[in-house]
């Protein structure tokens, strides 16, 4: 069973979900960085085997499956530094408290520190095309010298490229851009977006297997599975 949570349902708590009220669920998978710790804890306390995808709790470990967010963003940032010789790279990142955003930011910081470069971070309230567009317009006004941008997801990266073109910047000659997630329309953006691919089929397979283990009592409460990511090179970073 797949359930999409509204803000109202998140506020009401998992006990308000019809499938749980009617005892039609044998286990629970909570997927996404925007599910609050309060909701996750309440769900875990219902007594159902619970597994997290693209999320985790810092103080109350639960079994989880996550992409290598830190390693992926470190790879994308290092590519801009080592292959394209960029020294002024801005990170466009989503809200604090979203673990995937925090991990991707950590990867950016690690790559910048390794190259002895000064980090420049723009934090936004949501990870959409529109927030990426607005944030990059502001960033280009405040720090016009930046030559490359790492976005913590593809939607913001595509918004960033639109913003750059609107203020007369060419991609990638004036601003190189990378994203994260390799969503379906990343390959069809203009120019095609260099990004980090998350192997979603592998994530789904591992989630199902670990959930069955959890239901059988074979998975420890702190089990955490990290899935490797891959840099997908297209034209937005400056590669041909």
Kindly provide the residue ranges of all beta strands, DSSP E only, lying in the chain, ordered along the sequence.
28-31, 50-53, 64-67, 89-93, 120-123, 148-151, 176-178, 195-197, 224-227, 230-232
- Are 26 and 87 within one domain? no
CA distance 14 to 115: 45
In a domain, 2, yes or no: no
CATH of the domain at 15: 3.40.50.2300
pTM for this model (two decimals): 0.86
- Are 82 and 135 within one domain? yes
Per the CB < 8 A criterion, the answer to whether 52 and 223 are in contact is no
How many other CB atoms are there within 10 angstroms of residue 133's CB atom? 20
- Are 192 and 215 within one domain? no
Q: What is the pLDDT of residues 20-65, one digit of tens each?
A: 656 667 777 888 877 878 878 887 777 777 888 888 777 777 788 9
Q: Residue 126: what pLDDT?
A: 86
- Are 129 and 182 within one domain? yes
- Are 144 and 189 within one domain? yes
Among 169, 162, 173, CA closest to 235: 173
- Are 86 and 147 within one domain? yes
How many other CB atoms are there within 10 angstroms of residue 202's CB atom? 13
* Domain ranges, residue 115: 69-197+232-237
Among 135-139, 164-168, 201-205, 234-238, top mean pLDDT goes to 234-238
- Are 186 and 202 within one domain? no
């Amino acid at each position: 069973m797949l359930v999409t949570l509204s803000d109202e349902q998140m506020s009401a708590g998992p006990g308000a979900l019809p499938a749980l009220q009617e005892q039609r669920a044998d286990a629970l998978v909570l997927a996404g960085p925007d599910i609050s710790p309060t909701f996750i804890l309440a769900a875990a306390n219902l007594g159902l085997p619970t597994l997290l995808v693209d999320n985790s709790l810092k103080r109350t470990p639960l079994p989880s499956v996550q992409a290598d967010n830190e390693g992926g963003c470190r790879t994308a940032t290092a590519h801009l530094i080592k292959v394209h010789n960029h020294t002024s790279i801005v990170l466009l990142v989503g809200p604090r408290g979203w673990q995937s955003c925090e991990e991707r930011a950590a990867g950016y910081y690690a790559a910048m520190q390794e190259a002895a470069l000064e980090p420049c971070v723009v934090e936004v309230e949501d990870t959409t095309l529109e927030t990426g567009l607005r944030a990059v317009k502001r960033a280009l006004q405040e720090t016009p010298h930046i030559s490359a941008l790492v976005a913590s997801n593809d939607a913001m990266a595509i918004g960033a490229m639109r913003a750059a073109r609107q203020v007369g910047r060419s991609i990638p000659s004036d601003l190189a851009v990378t994203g994260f997630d390799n969503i379906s329309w990343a390959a069809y953006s203009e120019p095609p977006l260099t990004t980090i691919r998350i192997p979603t089929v592998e994530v789904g397979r591992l989630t199902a297997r670990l959930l069955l283990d959890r239901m059988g009592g074979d998975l420890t409460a702190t089990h955490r599975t990290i899935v490797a990511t891959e840099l997908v090179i297209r034209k937005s970073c400056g590669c041909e």
